[in-house]
Amino acid sequence: MEYRRLGETGLQVSPLCFGTWRFGKEHEGTVETGREEAHELLDAFAERGGNFVDTANGYGGGDSERWIGEWLADRDREDFVIASKCYWSTVSRFQENLSRKNVRAEVEGSLDRLGTDYLDILYLHRFDDDTPIERTLRTVDDLVSEGKVHHVGISTCDAWKLTKGLWKADVNNYEAFSVTQPLFHAAYYEDVAEYLDVCADQDLAVCPYSPLAGGFLTGKYERAGDGTYDLDAPEDTRAELDDRFLDFYVSERGWHVLDAVREVADEVDATPAQVALRWLMDQPDFDCVPIVGARTVDQLEENLGALDVEISDEQFDRIFEARYDEDGSLYQTNA
């Protein structure tokens, strides 16, 4: 596996990051990915050369970090890049913010569950409008000085908030964001274009979550009628399990982009999922490392197959341009 630079962190990471948000996640009393399955998935990822693992303090009520920690205990910690997040609290129900108290408590909790002395990347899971960002950054800067955090990232927020955070870090000489984690996939670009422009200008790495639009861009769904929201969904897929799926991922724009992704997949002898991931990895303006999730080893292997796929500039542009109708107007999206 050829590794790539993660922005200005200096870290060399696998071109795909393995996301573990399903670890310990319950749906109607059933755990989507249990401990044994989690370790099997991590084994498969590492065997293919994957070294970049993403989690968060609250995934699976902390089980995601615990199971990763158990798995890491039998390996060389230095071989892996581990990212976690804080905002929502696992310590106190009254502390869901980026206060000094909550950030420090949550990082200490993550380190304990992961069985490690440091996080390679700490993401702010959300932007806290009620806590001055410079106060949060000062706390994180202290954690960096203590060696408990190496690099700082931020997930979902507005472009101006990302810019504000970068500015506050600069004027106060605090550790600045070097990695971002927005919602971003082939059918969802203009919606985060300003955010991505900031990332390109400041050489911030982009690690998008939901790179396959919750599974929509895998090609497993078909239109069932003339309407945007009429679709055939296989059993036990996200569309059946998640009430928000239709509103969040299915749109007229999405169907047109999916059609283009399928065309390119046929041309390069790949699956739609592999082409959609390759499209993200080939972003020309910033380092882009998609975060893939999988419930089975077969799904993970299919995603990793994107590393062996090549698409031309024309095919890349065709997927991009599928967002627009013949008049040059953007098709509707909902997210």
Contacts 24+ apart (CB under 8 A), 236-241: 238/214, 239/215, 241/27
Task: Point out the catalytic residue in the list 3, 59, 221, 249.
Answer: 59
Question: For residues 175 and 171, what is the distance between their CA atoms, to the nearest angstrom?
Answer: 11
Contacts of 201 (CB under 8 A, 6+ apart): none
List helix spans (H) across the chain: 35-47, 63-72, 100-114, 133-145, 159-172, 193-202, 238-241, 245-249, 252-268, 272-281, 297-304, 313-321
Residues 107, 149: contact at Cβ < 8 Å?
yes
For 150, the enclosing helix (H) or strand (E) is strand 149-156
Identify the bridge partners of residue 18 per DSSP, sorted by sequence position: 53, 292
Residue 59 annotated among the catalytic residues of the structure: yes
Angle at 217 between CA 80 and CA 189, to 5 degrees: 80
Closest to 307 in 3D by CA, of 331, 294, 290, 321: 290
Residues 86, 124: contact at Cβ < 8 Å?
yes
Question: For residues 285 and 293, what is the distance between their CA atoms, to the nearest angstrom?
Answer: 24
Neighbours of 180 (CB within 10 A): 26
Identify the bridge partners of residue 152 per DSSP, sorted by sequence position: 122, 177
Question: For residues 122 and 141, what is the distance between their CA atoms, to the nearest angstrom?
Answer: 11
Tell me the backbone φ, ψ of residue 11, rounded to 5 degrees.
Answer: -70, 140
Active site residues: 59
